[in-house]
Amino acid sequence: MPEKKLKVAVLIRNFSSSGGGAERYCVELTNRLSKAHEVHVFSQHNSESSKNITFHQIPQWLNKPRYINQLLFSYLTKRATQGKFDIVHSHDMATHANIYTLHVPCVKTKWTQVKGIRKILRWANTLLSPRKIAYLWLENKQMKLLPNRHFISVSEYLSRNILESYPKLKSHITIAHPGIEIQPTSDEKIAKLRKNFREQYHIPESAFILLFVAHGFKRKGLPAIIKALEILNNKDIHIVVAGSGNPKAIEINSPTVHSNTHFIGVIKNMSELYLVADAFIHPTLGDTYGMVVLEAMSHKLPVIVSSAKYCGFSEHLDKDEAIILNDPTNSKEISQGIQTLAEKQELHIKISENGFKKSQMISWENTANRTLNAYKKIS
């Protein structure tokens, strides 16, 4: 018997494949769900198009303060969707969805991880902050256990975080990792892309290109990378920084590193960017999963990444598949990882090949299937 075709509302403020990990996850998953179900996307910003998806514009009356906009988004999407869909699936903070894909640690964790006087002081600070009260209120509404509500976590790392603050949800969480789907690219095209990119940014053909991608440079570890490059002070190593962040806030003291650091902004076609690099680095201070690491590995880039304490995806990696950093703030450790990949060709190839094999075991189809199984638990 064929499965029932569901009418699904997807909620996210920014529906964009060039956004952060949560946005890209939502776009990839929604595109696959729309092949078999009637899908409507409710967003404030949309840079995608699809004949299988109906898009609805949610007005953004205020850019700041952000918490007011979040409250308005929750209210307006509730008015637009309540009672009209089989599934209301939110990738954002909202009060009325019955499926929530959770991408970031809980707000409440800030209180559960401290004790004694520090906990009292933190609560006092919260009560004086309308922003914190708003986010905590939204989260408490969202995480309320209801008969027709289920939660999806993008990693085991995040699932543990959720249960630390909301232990009653233990049997109501499904884990659906991000997936990957890469179209093969000919060696000829890769060579052309690499040549054009190096010419555009005046990078010598013999230089080693390290790629860093983030929305929020400091939290993802760029300052530590810069210090590591200053330790090496190697004129043959260049770093390409893609994403949104403030380059002026990144202190660079070495003239060599300064001239070899290339800030290129937000890139729409990330696949081509991965193809022009020689290695990928992600010393994040906190990532529930780390989709960019998986994407880099799927493009046969060897990666340097924070340990599982800081990056959820690292739980699935071993030392033959990546260079794993015990301490992502330790620039000396980072510099050793960079130097290893830049100078030891045999190890570079081994990590690249093993990482690629690992990435091929993960697919968006599996993510979609796990999501549909979560839908069945409430429909």
Q: Which domains does the chain have, with CATH numbers?
A: 7-179+363-376 (3.40.50.2000), 187-359 (3.40.50.2000)
**Dist. CA 285–CA 311, nearest whole Å:** 8
- pLDDT tens across the length of the chain (379 residues): 347 899 999 999 999 988 888 999 999 999 999 999 999 999 999 999 899 999 999 999 887 888 899 999 999 999 999 999 999 999 999 999 999 999 988 887 765 555 666 666 666 666 667 888 888 889 999 999 998 999 999 999 899 989 988 999 999 999 999 988 877 889 999 999 999 999 999 999 999 999 999 988 999 999 999 999 999 999 999 999 999 889 999 999 999 999 999 999 988 888 899 999 999 999 999 888 888 999 999 999 999 999 999 998 999 899 999 999 999 999 999 999 999 999 999 999 999 999 999 998 888 999 999 999 999 998 6
Find out whether 95 and 138 touch, Cβ atoms under 8 Å.
Answer: yes
Where would I find the beta strands (DSSP E) of the chain? 7-11, 14-15, 38-43, 45-46, 53-57, 87-90, 99-102, 150-153, 173-175, 208-215, 237-244, 261-265, 279-282, 303-306, 323-325
Find out whether 32 and 10 touch, Cβ atoms under 8 Å.
Answer: no
Helix, strand, coil abundance in the chain, percent, nearest 5 = 45, 20, 35
CA-closest candidate to residue 140, choices 154, 126, 128:
126
For 152-170, the DSSP string reads: EES-HHHHHHHHHH-GGGG
Find out whether 253 and 223 touch, Cβ atoms under 8 Å.
Answer: no
Torsion, CA 243, CA 246, CA 251, CA 254, rounded to 10: 50
**Dist. CA 35–CA 29, nearest whole Å:** 10
Those residues with Cβ within 8 angstroms of residue 242's Cβ, 6 or more apart along the chain or in another chain: 211, 212, 213, 214, 264, 265, 266, 267, 270, 273
Tokens 């906009």, located at residue? 69
What the block records as the tokens of 249 is 């806030």
What the block records as the tokens of 49 is 């198009």
